Structure 1
Amino acid sequence: MQPNPLFIACDFSSRAELDQFLKEMEGRHLHLKVGMELFYKEGPEIVHALKEKGHSVFLDLKLHDIPETVKRSMIQLAALGADLVNVHASGGIRMMEAAMEGLHQGTPKGQAIPSCIAVTQLTSTSALMMNEELKIAGFLEDQVRHLAGLAMQAGLKGVVCSSMETEMLKAAYPSIWTLTPGIRLKGSDAGDQVRVCTPGEARQAKTDAIVVGRGITRAEDRLQAYEHYIKEWVGYDNQ
């Protein structure tokens, strides 16, 4: 996986919708995030198909269960060839360690072991929601830092967090790799996201990768939108 990737969230309801999108982006090596909607509709074959086309794949299923179930699930996911997978850090250290064990056991010989990152707090979560609805006391930033520490202790590559937290996390854990969703162009609708930022703000915050969904996939000219995000994120046309 190249440095500073921009993952496109493939939140499509079918393979046909995805294929149409890829046709519009033809000729480009892409970093694609396959989430629950597409994976549950199309199954493991969708990962194989994207890898065969030469794209990098982040399989975003956010595993969160007892350690044994997560381990056995990761054994299965490891065989698919995804570059990146994830879990919820709130599952705890033992669960995250089990995820890593499953990835090591399930990866076919000669194939790279998928990297694993942990979701700290979703970018749709506000401090008020965390305190009042989830009944987690304290500051949201402190909770994110704590969960990131658990992920690093468990041997994961890094975490999913907002750009508002990346500098804090890199100061606390210098080797951490951060992926930031909730990316919007200036003036765009935040939708159901709360902790949002622009690609430029994410770059300035020194996050390692970003995820962009609707800003690209629901744009009138999706190729043009992709190029706009890329230029603001890394400063050149990444064809």
Structure 2
Amino acid sequence: MHARNRLIVGLDIPTVGEAEKMVATLGDTVPFYKIGYQLAFAGGIEFARDLAKDGKNVFLDMKLLDIDNTVAKGVENIATMGVTMLTVHAYPKAMRAAVKAAEGSGLCLLAVTVLTSMDDADLLEVGYQADARTLVMRRAEQALAAGMGGIVCSAEESAAVRKIVGSDMAIVTPGIRPAGGDAGDQKRVMTPGDALRAGSSHLVVGRPIVKAADPRAAARAILAEMTSAL
């Protein structure tokens, strides 16, 4: 897979109008975009449909978690949108419901393990007894058993997760920062080249591109590093 198909630009942008301008600015450099909560609640769901119709790959980062029926009905509707990837929190019942609902659609379901903005202290605060790495490994095993299409985890855990899930499942890693870049609110970060070498299949990069003075140049620099790593 070429590097440009592994780079997912996070459109963590306030409005659809600004997102449209960013996609136009990046042009043919980037074919894959992530839409999360910020843009989704500002008209981003319809924008996701439009991007898919225009031939772009779309990662809809909704992190679904609810009772089985609600998750299933949500996935059924999302599967008609033409998006490429959808996130579900890695709770076994939710994952099994999502997998069943997505059967035959081609939608790649991604299991969110532990957010890259969280560390061991954060997990302890919310009541988990396991550290981040242990919890990620457990959830990777459960995602594999449920039939999910991939995993979302920190690049720090990619190598270990790859050993669990094998070569076929996607490993999508946020918290990617170019060397010397500001980590922001991310706590478990890695450079693009190191992440690919660790076993990640797709890299989500938001602010280092969309907040750059020249987003296209920033994207091309990251793609160049990814290509060298591949």
Q: Work out whether the TM-score is over 0.5.
A: yes
Alignment-mate amino acid for residue 97 of structure 1: R
> Are residues 1:134 and 2:126 paired?
yes
- Secondary structure of the corresponding residue to residue 83 of structure 2: coil
Matched positions, count: 227
- 1:71-220 counterparts in 2 under 5 A? 71-89=72-90, 92-104=91-103, 112-131=105-124, 133-175=125-167, 176-220=169-213
Deviation at 1:15?
1.4
- How high is the sequence identity, in percent, across the aligned residues? 33
The one-character-per-residue Cα deviations of 1:28-75 (angstroms, maximum 9, x if unpaired) are 451100111111211532122111222111111000111111001111
1:24 corresponds to which residue?
25
Query: Which stretch shifts more, 195-204 or 23-32?
Result: 23-32
User: Any conservation in 1 of the 2:151–2:171 contact (CA below 8 Å)?
Assistant: yes
User: Any conservation in 2 of the 1:44–1:80 contact (CA below 8 Å)?
Assistant: no
Q: Equivalents in 2 of 1:48, 1:80: separation in Å?
A: 6
Query: Which stretch shifts more, 35-44 or 15-24?
Result: 35-44
The one-character-per-residue Cα deviations of 1:91-146 (angstroms, maximum 9, x if unpaired) are x2221111112223xx7xxxx52110110000001111112x11211332111000
Structure 1: give runs of 5+ residues left out of the alignment: none
> Are residues 1:38 and 2:31 paired?
no
Deviation at 1:196?
0.3
Alignment-mate amino acid for residue 147 of structure 2: G
Alignment-mate amino acid for residue 65 of structure 1: D
2:71 corresponds to which residue?
70
Deviation at 1:232?
0.8
- Secondary structure of the corresponding residue to residue 26 of structure 1: helix
Q: Equivalents in 1 of 2:111, 2:201: separation in Å?
A: 14
Alignment-mate amino acid for residue 154 of structure 2: S
1:52 corresponds to which residue?
53
Deviation at 1:79?
0.8
Q: Equivalents in 1 of 2:131, 2:19: separation in Å?
A: 39
Structure 2 length-normalised TM: 0.93
Structure 2: give runs of 5+ residues left out of the alignment: none
Query: Which stretch shifts more, 35-44 or 138-147?
Result: 35-44
Alignment-mate amino acid for residue 74 of structure 2: S
User: Any conservation in 2 of the 1:51–1:81 contact (CA below 8 Å)?
Assistant: yes
User: Any conservation in 1 of the 2:71–2:94 contact (CA below 8 Å)?
Assistant: yes
Query: Which stretch shifts more, 1-10 or 13-22?
Result: 1-10
Q: Equivalents in 2 of 1:166, 1:74: separation in Å?
A: 26
Structure 1 length-normalised TM: 0.89
Q: Equivalents in 2 of 1:41, 1:229: separation in Å?
A: 28
User: Any conservation in 1 of the 2:172–2:204 contact (CA below 8 Å)?
Assistant: yes
Query: Which stretch shifts more, 212-221 or 33-42?
Result: 33-42
Structure with the bigger percentage of helix? 2
Structure 1 runs of 4+ aligned residues shifted over 6 Å read none
Alignment-mate amino acid for residue 121 of structure 2: L
